Amino acid sequence: MARYIFITGGVVSSLGKGLMAASLAALLQARGYKVRIRKFDPYLNVDPGTMSPYQHGEVYVTDDGAETDLDLGHYERFTGVSARQADNVTSGRIYQQIIARERRGDYLGATVQVVPHVTDAIKSFALADQSDHDFILCEFGGTVGDIEGLPFMEAIRQLRNELPRGDTLSVHVTLVPYIRAAGELKTKPTQHSVRELASLGIQPDVLLCRAEHPIPESDRRKIAQFCNVRAEAVIPALDAPSIYSVPLQYHAEGLDREVLRGFGITDAPEPDLARWYDVTDRYNHPEGEVTIGVVGKYVGLPDAYKSLNEALVHGGMAHRVKVNIRWLDAELFEEGSADIAARLEPMHGILVPGGFGERGSEGKIASVRFARERRVPFLGICLGMQMACIEAARAAGFPEASSTEFGPTREPVVGIITEWMSREGLQKRESEGDLGGTMRLGAYEAVLAGNSRAANVYDGADSISERHRHRYEVNSAYIDPLTKDGLIFSGMSPDGLLPEIVERPDHPWFIGVQFHPELKSKPFAPHPLFAGFIGAALEQARLV
């Protein structure tokens, strides 16, 4: 039976519960324990798949095709444990299932209520698929006191009573603000937050206190006294130089020790933190730097490209170089070629990421053209690969080449896909159907061409498995004319119908992929495509 750690937050949002959960899991893992992390989101969307990146940030995709909260990316990057469909649930998904059951008559005419039906569903998600894990960490989105979060808090209260005594623990992340005019840290917000949580029947065992300044021992004792926890269980969480320093910082403050002590575990082995010391050393002591231009449409919110940002950092770690990322709005590149050259010439590599819709598409195509003609290392991801194919088609004599995603076109180099093969068999979608959950989602195999740069990047592999999230595909009818123009299709779906990777062998480093490699990159295991891309950018920097 797994032990459960319930993680809540108070006072304000954006305190870093997800990063805290990932760091704690990594520390427990370093002690030899098997861990899993789950995220419970109180919003009514069934999943974040149809939400604007400006509303929610990145949509993280799992191997089994779930569209999830971006915190699951932190979980995977810090632990290496692949997330699953069962690891993220929203109020919308819970209510959707309950209402479907009610319509079928599964409740036998009973009145359907938040307690017990909604809380039972939340508990079922928490307890599902335990496997042989030692610890399951459950992070709850939002802030204690939010109306939409009350059913989740009630579910925690019930679980702490129903599970064996000593098998659950509550960690509350809160804020200790610094009032500059008074020159003091204030503990009252933390006290009020804990009081709010206790009023819901949940007494926290460990407090993680976010602060910009060191918390004096006297303030820690004060928090402990008023919040009914041990002084040693009040853990300071100061700002860190990077997210990859957080596990080491939390360990130094005793977070993992106090959590284990809360479970009555006092003889746990010391953690093996060698890989985290290596990661932080590579990040903090680079031996060079490169500048990468990311030409996207959601650049106003960095969280929209969270995994991409981290994967680029990981690629830098592979070469012990600092990666300076320049976020460039694709729409600005639609105003004139001179502006494109001025903005892209300082870049050692150009990356065009995924996205949806026509806005900024011509700017992305222009940046692909710049990378091809100026021989700058290029990586296109999802829509970025499609833009590379459209740019190649226009150069090959198809001036009206476009994507049906942007409207009717006489040259549909990219078009919507309504049928494809998956591990579950033939998948079908309606072109005018629902948007949510209707894309090609999750892990799919790609067969690599021998002697290609793609095969070389993947250490000579014949086939790979990567995660997808898209509704449109490169039209295979254009493969022959694009190949004649110098673009080779070095990765295809096993049935040979869907292009997965394109590249230019006459270019120093030019690769486009239909999938999202950033979703599988980790600080201690950089994705080979990003390691290769940054390596090529480093060579470009040496030539400048």
DSSP string covering 457-512 = HTTT-SEEEEEEEESEEE-GGGHHHHHHTT-EEEEE-TTS-SEEEEE-TTSSSEEE
User: Residue 178, Cα to own-chain centre: how many angstroms?
Assistant: 31
> Active-site residues: which are they?
382, 516, 518
Q: Is the dihedral of CA 521, 525, 528, 530 positive or negative?
A: positive
Cα 252 versus chain centre, distance: 26
HSE-CB of 78 using CA atoms within 13 angstroms: 27
How far apart are alpha carbons 80 and 524 in whole angstroms? Answer: 9
**Nearest Cα residue to 137 out of 59, 31, 20, 257:** 20
Termini Cα distance of the chain: 59
Q: Of all residues in the chain, what percent are helix, strand and coil, respectively (each to 5)? A: 40, 25, 35
Q: For residue 457, which of 397, 535, 380, 542 has the smallest C-alpha distance?
A: 535
Is there a contact between 28 and 254 (Cβ–Cβ < 8 Å)? no
DSSP label at residue 402: E
**CA 262 to CA 135: how far, in whole Å?**
13
Of 156, 157, 127, 129, the closest CA to residue 141 belongs to 156
- Quote the distance between the C-alpha of residue 379 and its chain's center: 19
Q: 11 near 195, Cβ under 8 Å? A: no
- Cα–chain center distance at 237: 22
